[in-house]
């Protein structure tokens, strides 16, 4: 990496690119880790992922300068001599969609590159042996496949779901158990020692160092692979027992034919997780329910069809209300841009559900909220009348709307405002349609 160029084309498809060089069981993995091509690929991926600075304050944009100043030569020498000490991760807490806080650990950019390089070496070693029922953070696998797997399994008359909630999984990963699983395929002691250092790197919380005797911080490039390695024995145990299930990271659901079977499975799996993997099941959130009452990756299932879970819709509406806050104080063009950005990403994920009519209804509600924002921004009665006239509203109707004592929400439904801010007008202004997005997901090869 001493001659590392700074690539400009980010790509995350390292797995396919490295198929011709899959490390064997007895390979010198540490040497492969430090190869220039592996590190270049790691940098491309870290750069593409962007992300905030770690505790050293170095940003993604500052990393190339650090390379040019010779920072990597010293880092590489420390790695080769076993003297490299990873920095503690920076603790960040983000809001969970359903309330509470999720703790993230942000490594430095340097450590993110090294972790990504390790992940690229280990993925071909471990991933081919993972369960076909595991879908999270794996090459060529995704959440959509997991949801479709559950739907297809339900059609086999498995109409009860065992929802298992792992309490603070990433914070409670047992380091000794994880290292034991790593040693099953890794003989390179230098690489094992480096991974161990990352596990024990600690966390900086409000400028205070906290040691990490357990857990895998969410936020690093290596954490998803390590979590899959940790839970692979759970997958194998479920398969050995003949269970039908799907897992995405620490979110998994087991499908059974009866309530009684579900209760039995929940009890035995809870015991297995506690005794074998030293993980804690949240008994208050874990339950056996009919599939129509289950929740998996934001979806539920009814009559063999994929549906949005009620909580998913509630969270969506909360976000839309924030993005269409009439007192936000930004331009309508910016507001519509942020709304489009969010809705497009949302429907790209949730568009696999059987939800055409729900999208139509939501579009109607969103348009009314956007009209409310326009009306609020026009403020003065004269400005309102002028804007209505400019958009072709008859003078009598325009004046009646402009001087009304109705608030913005009630006014947004009046014929004059609907005429001025018609569906076509809002579409041309940049308002995204969930219905159109849903159609694009369901029928990707058709023009809308």
17-76 per-position pLDDT tens digit: 334 444 445 468 999 999 999 999 999 999 999 999 999 999 999 999 999 999 999 999
Quote the pTM value. Answer: 0.85
Domain identity same for 263 and 401: no
| Cα 410-411-416 angle, rounded to 5 deg | 140
Task: Look up tokens 């492969």; give the residue.
Answer: 32
Residue 273 shares a structural domain with residue 156: yes
pLDDT tens digits along 321-380: 999 997 888 999 999 999 999 999 999 999 999 999 999 999 999 999 999 999 999 989
Question: Residue 19 falls within a domain, yes or no?
Answer: yes
Residues 56 and 195 in one domain: yes
Query: Residue 317 pLDDT > 90, yes or no?
Result: yes
Is residue 108 in a domain?
Answer: yes
Residue ending a domain, choose from 163, 189, 206: 206
Mean pLDDT over 167-191 rounds to 95
Same domain for 60 and 27? yes
Same domain (yes/no): 46, 63: yes
Query: Could you tell me if residue 359 is inside a domain?
Result: yes
Q: Can you give the pLDDT at residue 116?
A: 98
Same domain, 52 and 108: yes
- Going from the C-alpha of 118 to that of each of 40, 53, 215, 275, 349, the distances in angstroms are 12, 20, 18, 30, 29
Q: What integer pLDDT is reported at residue 99 of this predicted model? A: 57
Q: What is the pLDDT of residue 209?
A: 95
**Measured distance CA(246)–CA(136) in Å, rounded:** 10
Q: Into how many domains does the chain fold?
A: 3
Residue 447 domain flag: no
> What band does 387 get if pLDDT is binned at 50, 70 and 90?
confident
Is there a domain that residue 448 lies in?
no
Condensed to tens digits (0 to 9), the pLDDT of residues 211-259 reads: 999 999 899 999 999 999 999 999 999 999 999 999 999 999 999 999 9
174: phi then psi, degrees, rounded to nearest 5: -80, 120
pLDDT of residue 299 exceeding 90, the answer is yes
Q: What is the DSSP string of 153-174?
A: HHTTT--EEEEEEBTTHHHH--
Residue-averaged pLDDT of the chain: 91
Q: Which domain holds residue 108?
A: 1-129+176-206
Q: Which of 256, 282, 305 is the last residue of a domain?
A: 305
């Amino acid at each position: 990496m001493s001659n590392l160029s700074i690539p400009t084309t980010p790509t995350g498809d390292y797995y396919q690119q490295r198929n011709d060089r899959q490390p064997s069981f007895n390979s010198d993995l540490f040497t492969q880790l430090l190869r220039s091509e592996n590190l270049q690929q790691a940098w491309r991926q870290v750069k593409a992922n962007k992300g905030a600075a770690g505790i050293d304050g170095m940003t993604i944009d500052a990393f190339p300068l650090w390379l040019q100043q010779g920072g990597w030569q010293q880092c590489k020498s420390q790695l080769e001599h076993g003297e490299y000490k990873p920095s503690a991760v920076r603790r960040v807490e983000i809001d969970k969609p359903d309330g509470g806080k999720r703790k993230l650990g942000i490594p430095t950019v340097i450590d993110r590159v090294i972790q990504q390089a390790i992940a690229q070496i280990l993925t071909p070693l471990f991933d081919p042996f993972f369960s076909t029922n595991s879908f999270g953070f794996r090459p060529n696998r995704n959440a959509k496949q997991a949801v479709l797997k559950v739907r297809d399994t339900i059609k086999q008359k498995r109409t009860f779901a065992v929802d298992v909630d792992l309490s603070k999984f990433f914070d409670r990963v047992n380091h000794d158990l994880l290292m034991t699983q790593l040693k099953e395929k890794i003989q390179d002691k230098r690489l094992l020692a480096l991974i161990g250092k990352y596990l024990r790197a600690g966390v900086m919380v409000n400028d205070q160092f906290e040691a990490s005797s357990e857990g895998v911080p969410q936020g690093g490039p290596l954490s998803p692979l390590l979590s899959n390695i940790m839970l692979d024995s759970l997958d194998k145990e479920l398969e050995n027992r003949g269970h039908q299930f799907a897992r995405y990271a620490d979110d998994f659901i087991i499908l059974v034919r009866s309530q009684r079977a579900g209760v039995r499975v929940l009890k035995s799996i809870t015991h297995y997780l506690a005794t074998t993997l030293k993980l804690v099941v949240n008994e208050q959130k874990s339950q056996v329910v009919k599939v129509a009452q289950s929740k998996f990756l934001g979806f539920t299932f009814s009559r063999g069809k994929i549906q949005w879970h009620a909580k998913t819709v509630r969270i969506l509406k909360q976000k839309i209300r924030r993005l269409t806050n009439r007192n936000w104080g930004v331009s309508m063009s910016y507001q519509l841009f942020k709304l489009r950005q969010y809705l497009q990403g949302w429907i790209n994920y949730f568009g696999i559900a059987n939800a055409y009519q729900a999208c139509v209804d939501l579009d109607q509600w969103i348009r009314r909220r956007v009209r409310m924002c326009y009306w609020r921004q026009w403020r003065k009665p004269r400005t309102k009348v002028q804007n209505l006239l400019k958009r072709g509203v008859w003078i009598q109707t325009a004046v009646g709307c402009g001087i009304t004592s109705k608030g913005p929400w009630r006014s947004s439904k009046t014929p004059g405002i609907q005429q001025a801010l018609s569906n076509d007008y809002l579409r041309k202004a940049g308002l995204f349609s969930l219905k159109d997005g849903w159609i694009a997901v369901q029928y990707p090869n058709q023009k809308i």
